Amino acid sequence: MLTRIQELAENLRDRLIEIRRHLHLHPELSAQEHKTAAFVAGVLSSSGLRVTETVGKTGVVAEVIGNGTDKRLLAIRTDMDALPIQELTLLEYASREPGIMHACGHDVHTTVGLGTAMILAQLAKELPGNVRLLFQPAEEIAQGASWMIADGGMDQVTAILSLHVFPSITAGSIGVRYGALTAAADDLEIEIIGESGHGARPHEAIDAIWIASQVITNLQQAISRTQNPLRPMVLSIGQINGGRAPNVIADHVKLLGTVRSLHPETRANLPNWITKIVSSVCDSYGARYHINYRPGVPSVQNDLALSQLVQNAAEEAFGNDRVLVLTEPSLGAEDFSMYLEHAPGMMFRLGVGYKDRALNYPLHHPLFDVDETAIVTGVVTMAYSAYKYWQQGK
């Protein structure tokens, strides 16, 4: 079966590159993937698959119907949205949409998902069970997964697989991470409320800007002395809004940030920890405060058995030297974790870096680019892992 999958993938190579370049030329932002979804649905339908559109708003679902001897249902998730970034690559297939770019590789993800669907459609009679392909919108705003789930995308699913491009791994290789792959990502909003006054008489006011600076400093200092260094967390304030004039003491400042953590216990304690620090600073200087801590997506925790399944499948396909077992997680976030609340799953890293380049630009960079030979590697890994899913015990 592996040889057949490899041959089918190789035969699709040119078509898959054509698909990827089309998607790269025409990126769409989160929840606006209308043309992308229509294109994806067309490719899936032409492969003979049953397709449902407008799932999860702008998502697409396709079903590969196996021979029915195994009632387990495997899902494969692919994200489709792009980022609000102006592309600077000057490639002949660079984005034609001003200020929008596939700078996170979702065009590659979508292409691998379509290639996998094409191959599994041809092998359907030899699959003991069914495969559900989820083409998801709005991953970049961490909403699409919940939309797909709400529309029944995970109903009856017993396991789910996904991938994400990784420019620090060269094309032709994949990375497998056991356990935590990505961090939980929560949103933080802190309002500091002081009292306005003349800039020449700060002692008569309560300076919200200065107090906000103390809050930020204390939060960053406290991380190194009150948080377990073996359980990483990051708190970053990315936006500060406050003040009305250069010579007026600000009475109101809003801080907006993100909080990343890997361990559920750490995450559960973070709202109280932040509140204590903010309260201590504000009480010391007579300010009031309001904190809005909004839980976002949890950490992606790769299932042990599925991780071993993907590793074995890739090693059979490409050899042990092209399968890297990753020793460290990422503090980036992925709403793939939402699916894992409904079924065990696994996301692997697809190497897309060029071997002969001194620098492969990172994700979310305007010069981000991929070695397109990685597409076939991704398709073979995903399709063969799907086939092998039914070979492991229930």
User: What does the pLDDT read at residue 391?
Assistant: 86
Q: How far is CA 245 from the centre of its chain?
A: 40
Over residues 326-336, the mean pLDDT reads 95
190 and 156 co-located in one domain: no
Q: Which of 58-72, 98-112, 219-233 has the lowest mean pLDDT?
A: 219-233
CATH code, 162 = 3.40.630.10
Over residues 302-326, the mean pLDDT reads 98
In a domain, 369, yes or no: yes
User: What's the 3-state SS for the chain?
Assistant: CHHHHHHHHHHCHHHHHHHHHHHHHCCCCCCCCHHHHHHHHHHHHHCCCEEEEEECCCEEEEEECCCCCCCCEEEEEEECCCECCCCCCCCCCCCCCCCCECCCCHHHHHHHHHHHHHHHHHCHHHCCCEEEEEEECCCCCCCHHHHHHHCCCCCCCCEEEEEEEEEEEECCCEEECCEECCCEEEEEEEEEECECEECCCHHHCECHHHHHHHHHHHHHHHHHHHCCCCCCEEEEEEEEEECCCCCEECCEEEEEEEEEECCHHHHHHHHHHHHHHHHHHHHHHCCEEEEEEEEEECCCEECHHHHHHHHHHHHHHHCHHHEEECCCCCCCCCHHHHHHHCCCEEEEEEEEECCCCCCCCCCCCCCCCCCCCHHHHHHHHHHHHHHHHCCCCC
149 and 278 co-located in one domain: no
131 and 22 co-located in one domain: yes
Q: Which two tokens stand for residue 181?
A: 């792959």
Interval 296-312: pLDDT, tens:
999 999 999 999 999 99
51 and 131 co-located in one domain: yes
Interval 17-45: pLDDT, tens:
999 999 999 999 999 999 999 999 999 99
Alpha carbons 127 and 123: distance in angstroms, whole number: 7
54 and 157 co-located in one domain: yes
18 and 119 co-located in one domain: yes
Over residues 69-98, the mean pLDDT reads 97
Interval 357-388: pLDDT, tens:
999 999 999 999 999 999 999 999 999 999 99
Of 246, 281, 297, which closes a domain?
297
Instruction: Work out how many domains the chain is built from and give that number.
Output: 2
177 and 189 co-located in one domain: no
Of 278, 297, 316, which closes a domain?
297
Quick check: 123 and 48 in contact, CB under 8 A? no
User: What does the pLDDT read at residue 393?
Assistant: 64
Q: Is the pLDDT of residue 118 over 80?
A: yes
In a domain, 67, yes or no: yes
244 and 154 co-located in one domain: no
158 and 200 co-located in one domain: no
Domain extent at residue 344: 2-182+299-389
170 and 260 co-located in one domain: no
% of the chain surpassing 90 pLDDT:
95
In a domain, 394, yes or no: no
- Picking from 215, 193, 214, 223, the residue whose alpha carbon sits closest to that of residue 205 is 193
User: What does the pLDDT read at residue 230?
Assistant: 84
Kindly report the backbone phi and psi dihedral angles of residue 295, in degrees, each rounded to the nearest multiple of 5, phi listed first.
Answer: -60, 135
178 and 201 co-located in one domain: no
163 and 288 co-located in one domain: no
Q: Is the pLDDT of residue 285 over 60?
A: yes
Q: Is the pLDDT of residue 394 over 60?
A: no
User: What does the pLDDT read at residue 6?
Assistant: 98
Interval 135-157: pLDDT, tens:
999 999 999 999 999 999 999 99
User: What does the pLDDT read at residue 77?
Assistant: 98
CATH code, 229 = 3.30.70.360
Interval 237-248: pLDDT, tens:
999 999 999 999
Of 280, 297, 314, which closes a domain?
297
